[in-house]
Amino acid sequence: MSEPITYASAGVDVEAGDRAVELMKDSVRRATRPEVLGGLGGFAGMFDASALAGMRRPVLATSTDGVGTKVAIAQAMDRHDTIGFDLVGMVVDDIVVCGAEPLFMTDYIATGKVVPERIAAIVSGIAAACEQAGVALVGGETAEHPGLLDPDEYDCAGAATGVVEHDEVLGPQRVRAGDVVLGMASSGLHSNGYSLVRRVFSAAGWDYERPVAELGATLGESLLTPTRVYSRDLLALIRAEGVDIHALSHVTGGGLAANLARVLPQGVLATLDRSTWTPAPIFELVQRLGQVPQADLERTLNMGVGFVAVLPEESVDRALAVCAERDLPAWVMGRVADRGSVTPAEGHEVVHGAKGVDGGAVQLLGAYAG
């Protein structure tokens, strides 16, 4: 008779999972809020919701997302402490779009083999980003999947919940013709379009250790630049005296035009001027090496704009001042007009909504500033 088959011999190391939890405890402990009940290791994370009783009509907002194929670069470089910022940014910043304050988050990591130090590094990034965002990391799960994932492979996902007053929900219902569109800078590629990016550099024969003068870093270091986490800055902007935000858009998959169109009402056209900003060198490098058509590039990457705010003219100066105080680069990039009062410029694509949303229209004009 052959030797007995155990869970460990099948490829699952429960003790390694326990060691990973011990290594991540200090990081998770910092990513908290006063409302969190209990500690690490419970079956469910608990959050005291009694504060919601004081709200007039609280609306819960929730979001879930992952990091996509950017994890392949982290795995290739054996650097795992930045991916957590990407995950938190992709999740909690979607919640802020409707004006909600993100409250708590959970994460899920699936891996072929639990290496405690690697899991702890991933979670340390998640916890640090949650701390930066003012969000509590109330729980998570690490799953070992031998045979489904290679030993060094992993993927991660997360979900978060926030709250907003019903009459303070931001969105298309607030947007008016004459509103101004502010752009807010991204930190780089963020977490979208990496299937295109990886294909471009692979086809060019560039490895991740290659120093790139125009990037001021190796290729891999530049590609792993963490996603900017906007939630705290945007909540400060929403709450600032003299600022009336009508809508926000998180520029993720689909690019700037499509994501802005999702938060505009039908019957309006937002015209954006590319000459008002200069995309970071990584965007031009991807386009040049891969000979990527501009339209495809703009439908895939954020092109240097991570968030967009739509607001009335009289709020613009104060909003820009708040962003400057918080070291968040922002600028006027366009305006919203009634479709009946303007004729879209010929030869430039007009984008209508995305992801099932039949919203307004967006048109990008001009060339990017050099």
pLDDT in tens, 40-65: 777 888 888 998 999 999 999 999 99
pLDDT of residue 124: 94
Per-state percent for the chain, helix, strand, coil, to nearest 5: 35, 25, 35
Q: Which residues have CB under 8 Å from 367's CB, separation 6+?
A: 274, 275
pLDDT of residue 66: 96
Contact 317, 182 (CB under 8 A): no
What whole-number distance in Å separates Cα of residue 61 and Cα of residue 51?
16
What is the band of 277 on the pLDDT scale with cuts at 50, 70, 90? Answer: very high
What is the band of 94 on the pLDDT scale with cuts at 50, 70, 90? Answer: very high
pLDDT of residue 344: 82
User: In this model, does residue 9 exceed pLDDT 80?
Assistant: no
pLDDT in tens, 236-255: 999 999 999 999 999 998 99
What is the band of 350 on the pLDDT scale with cuts at 50, 70, 90? Answer: confident
**In the block, residue with structure tokens 């290729």:** 219
Stretch 93-101: mean pLDDT, rounded? 97
pTM: 0.93
User: In this model, does residue 23 exceed pLDDT 90?
Assistant: no
Stretch 332-356: mean pLDDT, rounded? 85
pLDDT in tens, 182-229: 999 999 999 999 999 999 999 999 999 999 999 999 999 999 999 999
Stretch 309-321: mean pLDDT, rounded? 98
Per the rule left: phi > 0, alpha: psi between -120 and 50, beta: everything else, 3 is beta
Smallest CA-to-CA distance from 76 within 259, 263, 224 is with 224
What whole-number distance in Å separates Cα of residue 121 and Cα of residue 106?
16
6 or 190: whose pLDDT is higher? 190
Least confident range of 31-40, 118-127, 172-181: 31-40
What whole-number distance in Å separates Cα of residue 113 and Cα of residue 12?
7
pLDDT of residue 205: 97
pLDDT of residue 263: 96
Contact 156, 89 (CB under 8 A): no
Work out the mean pLDDT of the chain and round it to a whole number: 93
User: In this model, does residue 6 exceed pLDDT 70?
Assistant: no
% residues pLDDT > 70 (the chain): 96
For 239, the token pair is 């709450």
Smallest CA-to-CA distance from 285 within 350, 216, 359 is with 216
What whole-number distance in Å separates Cα of residue 162 and Cα of residue 100?
6
Residue 181's H or E segment, with its range, is strand 180-185
User: In this model, does residue 299 exceed pLDDT 90?
Assistant: yes
Stretch 113-119: mean pLDDT, rounded? 92
pLDDT of residue 152: 93
What whole-number distance in Å separates Cα of residue 193 and Cα of residue 118?
25
% residues pLDDT > 90 (the chain): 79
Contact 263, 248 (CB under 8 A): yes
What is the band of 21 on the pLDDT scale with cuts at 50, 70, 90? Answer: confident
Amino acid 58 reads P
For 225, the token pair is 């630049």
For 119, the token pair is 């899991």
Per the rule left: phi > 0, alpha: psi between -120 and 50, beta: everything else, 73 is alpha
pLDDT in tens, 69-89: 999 999 999 999 999 999 999
Least confident range of 85-89, 125-129, 274-278, 340-344: 340-344
Measuring CA to CA, how many Å separate 285 from each of 198, 204, 223, 228, 253? 12, 11, 12, 21, 19
DSSP labels, 63-125: EEEE-TTHHHHHHHHT--SSHHHHHHHHHHHHHHTTTPEEEEEEEEEEESS--HHHHHHHHHH
26 or 341: whose pLDDT is higher? 341
